[in-house]
Structure 1
Amino acid sequence: MERCSPADRVKKTAVLFRTSPLLLDCGRPLSDVRVAYHTYGEAQEEATLVLHALTGDSAVHEWWPDFLGAGLPLDPTQEFIVCANVLGGCAGTDGPAVLGDLSISLRDMARVGRALLEHLGVRRVRIIGASMGGLLAYAWLLECPDLVVRAAVIGAPVRHSPWAVGLNSAARAAIRAAPGGEGLKVARQIAMLSYRSPQSLAQTQTGQRIPGVHAVTSYLDYQGEKLLARFCESSYVTLTGAMDGFQPNTAELASIHVPVLVVGISSDMLYPAAEVSAGAAELPNATYWELDSIHGHDAFLMDAGELPGRVGAFLRGEKTGH
């Protein structure tokens, strides 16, 4: 089945903040910000905004086949879908390679996204985000409450815990200790362990594929090399720092009144389901649902199960149950 048209697969670029600069939370103004993005379907004033994960990008058709396509939660034949590469990344939107080292917040990313929607003529959005994209969805709900109709947050807490901050701190320490690529590979290995679960690795990474090397060791080596080939260590430092800095208080979360579907993952070790559920309880109009999977945090990508149906029904305004 064709997920999207050939034209939708083409990455586009907009230059924003030409006449009035973006003032970052760190106090630095930015002008002429380049933003790379994909759109799917015919342009409309109401859209569905997809927010990608830490090392993801705007090409939703490549990384979320369970969600994008006719009859699926993100249906280009029925709606206008937008996904942009985040500020600070390395997939076409301005990041450290252009801007140098600077502090960027998730709220800064939301402001850039708002400017892109204005550029595209979008006035109202439904939001779906997973992992870092879920944290960013909360930033959107706080920063742009007038634009958001409803939001689906998958595998993400309302704020970064000491556990999550600690994992990112260790990853950044690896990059500082071994700049030039080796540190980024180790950072990815640390992250991959938090993205899976002991049960998942026991099922998928037993034995040896290379003589004398545990399967999980060769798996982690492969994941590190794979990320190094496509990602920038400076962006990794910038984006993980933005995630760690997202710490909304209870009063801010209580101000979010639009419907929010919050999805926890039963075996998630990075953002445990109990933590995600507790965060949902801080929102006035949230529904919590849990994806049952042994595959940990990455289940939203590799073991979606009922997730597309639940999210699709929610985005359409149908009752999802508890």
Structure 2
Amino acid sequence: MTAVTFPGHLPPPPEQQRCSGPRTALLFGREPLLLDCGQPVQGVRVAYHTYGTPSDHAVLVLHALTGTSAVHEWWPEFLGEGRPLDPSRDYIICANVLGGCAGTTGPAELPQIGGEDAPLTLRDMARVGRALLEELGVRRVSVIGASMGGMLAYAWLLECPDLVDRAVIIGAPARHSPWATGLNAAARSAIRAAPGGEGLKVARQIAMLSYRSPESFALTQAGPSARRPGTPAITSYLEYQGEKLAARFCERSYLALTGAMDRFQPSGAELRSIRVPVLAVGISSDVLYPAAEVSAHAAQLPRSTYRELCSPHGHDAFLMDAQELPTWVSEFLHG
């Protein structure tokens, strides 16, 4: 993408100057994608960003639940010259997942079964990603994902073992615990009880409580709200987060993607079959995916390395308090 400079404006940072996107690919035009539920889908649209010079090897970034393919917008500490995702060195690809609402084919365009959206799986998403790589001429990838993206990395390792040469999994287990599934079930119940946006706001509030930690909220949301006098800061913070997500996200996508995460339950034997090197990173204060759970799942992988990010900010530390994380990832991917 060519940088254009207007009077009084700075040029975009180098990572955006090397950004190609958003672009859209139309896949499965001849042979349909067969979903795990048994339903065929033809003409799957995939919206994606690329960074750097096209190559037959790429670093594939897998976004979180409500993230997008625009890596430069949500992971600036990782993308740029001298960083783990360096467009001057790497060909970087990030695609919006199947079932999301950021340009890739969403739930309204997928089959229904008995009046309900066809259940999606993370393996379905990996197969769509594989087709995109074939379209772009990519033969091998290093994969990096955090949160839902980390779980999707596990799906890539199981579904496309011939394509992945190494993987970084941050703040993600191999499968959901009853605790994580229960949080998602409560969020989906809120959406179904109050469709039209209000339920999605509540679902986001439930999720935000699990994305941070008690210590993090004590540090950042104690006392009265500066935004709304007479209201606790935590109350106005959660309300703001709910309103912000409802303005940009689709409740059917939230139902589809959280359901796909809950359904992903690889066995121990499947995990032991993964032969590529994997860096797994737990977060010390993560209440959604406790570090011990992330570590225990990683220990089942034959060639895993585990590190732990010590932060008071819970699950979202990979976004807001990365500390040594970029160094660990750089050393693993490029050391």
TM-score of the two chains, using structure 1 as the length reference:
0.97
Report how far residue 8 of structure 1 moved. 1.3
Q: How does 1:1-322 map to 2 (within 5 A)?
A: 2-6=13-17, 8=19, 10-99=21-110, 101-208=117-224, 209=226, 210-316=228-334, 318=335
The one-letter amino acid of 1:125's match is V
The one-letter amino acid of 2:77's match is D
The one-letter amino acid of 1:227's match is L
Listed one character per residue, the Cα deviations across residues 258-312 of structure 1 (whole Å, up to 9, x for unaligned) are 0000000000000000000000111111000000000000000000000001011
Q: Is the 8 A contact 1:253 1:282 kept in 2?
A: yes
The count of corresponding residues between Structure 1 and Structure 2 is: 317
Listed one character per residue, the Cα deviations across residues 26-75 of structure 1 (whole Å, up to 9, x for unaligned) are 00001110000000001000000000000000000000000000000000
Q: Is the 8 A contact 1:9 1:61 kept in 2?
A: no
What is the rounded CA distance, in whole Å, between the counterparts of 1:227 and 1:2 in structure 2? 27
Report how far residue 315 of structure 1 moved. 0.8
The one-letter amino acid of 2:195's match is P
Listed one character per residue, the Cα deviations across residues 142-181 of structure 1 (whole Å, up to 9, x for unaligned) are 0000000000000000111100000000000000110000
Report how far residue 5 of structure 1 moved. 3.8
Q: Is the 8 A contact 1:87 1:109 kept in 2?
A: yes
What is the rounded CA distance, in whole Å, between the counterparts of 2:260 and 2:86 in structure 1? 31
Instruction: Give the root-mean-square deviation of aligned CA atoms.
Output: 1.0
SS at structure 2 position matched to 1:166: helix
Listed one character per residue, the Cα deviations across residues 76-113 of structure 1 (whole Å, up to 9, x for unaligned) are 00010000000000000001132262211000000000
What is the rounded CA distance, in whole Å, between the counterparts of 1:58 and 1:130 in structure 2? 13
Q: Is the 8 A contact 1:3 1:68 kept in 2?
A: no
| Partner residue, 2:114 | none
Q: Is the 8 A contact 1:3 1:65 kept in 2?
A: no
Q: 1:122 to 1:9 in 2, by over 3 A?
A: closer
Report how far residue 2 of structure 1 moved. 1.9
The one-letter amino acid of 1:135's match is M
Structure 2: tracts of 5 or more residues without a match: 1-11, 112-116
Identity of aligned residues (%): 72
What is the rounded CA distance, in whole Å, between the counterparts of 1:147 and 1:15 in structure 2? 21
Deviates more, 1:93-102 or 1:184-193: 93-102
The one-letter amino acid of 1:84's match is A
The one-letter amino acid of 2:268's match is T
SS at structure 2 position matched to 1:12: strand
SS at structure 2 position matched to 1:258: coil
Which stretches of structure 1, 4 residues or more, deviate above 6 A after TM superposition?
none
What is the rounded CA distance, in whole Å, between the counterparts of 2:210 and 2:14 in structure 1? 30
SS at structure 1 position matched to 2:149: helix
The one-letter amino acid of 1:41's match is G
SS at structure 1 position matched to 2:19: helix
| Partner residue, 2:7 | none
Q: Is the 8 A contact 2:212 2:314 kept in 1?
A: yes
Q: 1:254 to 1:310 in 2, by over 3 A?
A: same
The one-letter amino acid of 1:55's match is T
Report how far residue 10 of structure 1 moved. 2.6
Report how far residue 7 of structure 1 moved. 5.8
TM-score of the two chains, using structure 2 as the length reference:
0.93
